[in-house]
Amino acid sequence: MRKRALLTSFSLCILVALTWPATAWAQAGGSGNTPPPGQVNGSDDPWTPGPVGTDEGWKLEFEHYERFSRRPALFLRTRSMERFARTADERAFKLLMERYLDPEKPEDHVPYLIAGITADNFTKADHMALWQEFMLRANKPVDAWLWWNALMVQGQAFGGGVARGTATNKKLPVFLRAAALESLSWRNDGDTALQLIPLVLESPDPKAKKEKGLARAVLVESCSSALIAARGRIGEEAFARAANLVIDQLDDKKLPFRTTVTLARNLAETFGTDQLYVTSDSWRKLLEGRNDEARAGAGGDDDPEASGMTTRERVTVTNDAGFTVPRFMGIEGAGTRIAFVIDMSDSMTAPLTSEEKEDLRRPVTGPGAAEEKARRRADDGGPKGAPTEAELPWDKINTRFDAARETLKLSLRQLGDKMNFVVIVFGSKAHPIFPNQGMVPATKSNVAKVINELDNWVVGKPKSDRPNGTLKGYTNLHGGLLEAFRATGKKPLEVHEHVETRGFLEGCDTIFLLSDGEPSWDNFAQVDAKEPDIQIGDPESHTPGQDADNVEYQGPYGWGFYPYLVRDIQRMNLFRKAQIHCIGIGESNDRLLEQIVEVGRGKFRKIGG
């Protein structure tokens, strides 16, 4: 059984691997044949550098880094960068910085990886000048992920001063300024957040030029994220001022609807309520009530009536005609542009346990089922006669694949026709159910087209290591989410999905992710020479295989530990603000899915757990 890395959130809230696994699976490759599987055997520790206090020690580590920097496999290159950064040597930082500025392929993900690796390992006071240089040299919108990491490190060392100077500098690209606001949220720096929000949203000069369009929307959304860090200050004058400024933005009709959704979600988290209001008056009433409670020393009350709010004023973001509350496998979301990311790896052919099948039925078989059914059909503005879980063909749902397919079909039928959706499936590869198709309106014809395609899928014949049959191979969870963030109303984004304009205006605002196992693959697999610590084995079933000279390595997002995977999801969603809900079934890595939910501020459900 594999030993996993221990994941923690250190004081900067960056996920770090404290220990590296003794085993991790790769797929080995020979010339022209499908490669057999493999694992790291732990004979050497390829992650830990030797001492670099002497010229000879530095020379050995530098030569190791240089040698692996030219290897085809991104995993081996990532591992060598991690080892090199762990020296915490200023010379290593400078070389990694140069590599960030002039990366090899893949030109987008090598810098993303370097940004996180350097932030994990260069955190001492004497590294701060290096970070300043790094930020000066890499200052384009695409560098916002680097800036967020840099501001996290410097915030830990210096407090909020660097973030304050960055967020208020109008000469900088808006995403770099927003990165400063986001760092306050992740560091829980409420003091700086309450100082900064007025400086960003309330110009002292009425003639000063204001940001417009997407630039304004990004700053407003990031201010609402920063406000979450100050939720412990409800009742104070400084909080009321900042909160009112954020709430005021709901009256700005020039902001896109996605900003309304984001503000509602972030304000709900700030105030600790499940209600999502799209009117500023509703939030002001809630703020006034919570202020009174805080001054009286009472706890918050989730009942809106406690703040003088009527039922009619509790408007959700999906209450208009043609919109519904998006649902999947018992989880309700809040958005209008929905991405369903569905695991179709071979392990999804496994039969459901009786506990799992009963748990799947539970949302409509427990107390109040009749009331729930009636509410779904009438109260949320859904399609007339939309089906519920009770009407699923339970006699045909015998495997995880059956459950995924039938519940997905149900969720699609429940979408309002003014909503948009995309279905992403992932096995060894990840792609929309119809290749190159992005978000589409949830019309009857579009929904029927997807359902028809799902009904045409059949499980492949069993094999010796796939006794239940085959679907689409390994578990490329990272690729599935990457496709979700790249999906737009037109052709998919190619790179930099975290800052591309079309992603904000045409991309998803809600993601439902279903998976049944450990991530075992990604988009960056590459055949390379077998290292001594690699043993051959199937990355999905962990079945040992025969030795080989070459190995098809997973990339860093598909290995048996997850700091890179979770961190890259955080990058993708830092500004996009999609709400990410995760459903685990079977052998799903529930801690991993919970971490993804933390990044996406969504909900987690374990089927049968």
pLDDT value at position 376? 46
Confidence of residue 583 (pLDDT cuts 50, 70, 90): very high
SS3 label, residue 560 = coil
pLDDT value at position 542? 81
> What are the helix and strand counts (H, E) for the chain?
21, 16
- Tally Cβ neighbours within 10 Å of residue 436: 9
Q: What is the pLDDT of residues 522-559, one digit of tens each?
A: 999 999 999 998 878 888 888 888 889 999 999 999 97
Confidence of residue 18 (pLDDT cuts 50, 70, 90): very low
Instruction: Look up residue 582 and give its two tokens.
Output: 């995760």
First to last CA, the chain: 21
pLDDT value at position 385? 57
Question: DSSP class of residue 559?
Answer: S
The mean-pLDDT minimum among 12-21, 116-125, 304-313 falls in 12-21
For the residues 188-193, what does the mean pLDDT come to? Answer: 98
pLDDT value at position 8? 27
Instruction: Look up residue 365 and give its two tokens.
Output: 């078989």
pLDDT value at position 490? 84
* Among 502, 515, 503, residue whose Cα is nearest residue 476: 515
Mean pLDDT, the chain, rounded, equals 86
For the residues 234-261, what does the mean pLDDT come to? Answer: 95
The residue that leads in pLDDT, 133 or 202, is: 133
Residue 36 has pLDDT above 60, yes or no: no
The mean-pLDDT minimum among 100-104, 181-185, 289-293, 332-336 falls in 289-293
CB proximity list for 333: less than 8 A, separation 6 or greater: 325, 326, 327, 510, 512, 579, 581, 602
d(CA 84, CA 602): 36
Residue-wise burial string across 447-462, b where 16 or more C-beta atoms lie within 10 A, e elsewhere: beebbeebeeeebeee
pLDDT value at position 523? 98
Region at 385 (left for phi over 0; alpha for psi -120 to 50; beta for the rest): left
Q: Identify any residues that bridge with 470 across adjacent strands, giving them in sequence order.
A: 460
Pairing outcome for strands 550-553 and 579-584: unpaired
Q: What is the DSSP code string of 461-522?
A: PPBTTBTT-BSS-S--HHHHHHHHHH--SSSPP-S-TTT-HHHHHHS-SEEEEEE-S-----
Percent of the chain whose pLDDT exceeds 70: 82
For the residues 242-258, what does the mean pLDDT come to? Answer: 96
Q: CA neighbours within 13 Å on the CB side: how many for 25?
A: 24
Residue 464 has pLDDT above 60, yes or no: yes
Q: What is the DSSP code string of 125-141?
A: GGGHHHHHHHHHH--SG
pLDDT value at position 370? 43
Instruction: Report pTM.
Output: 0.88
Give the DSSP H/E element, type plus range, for residue 152: helix 144-158
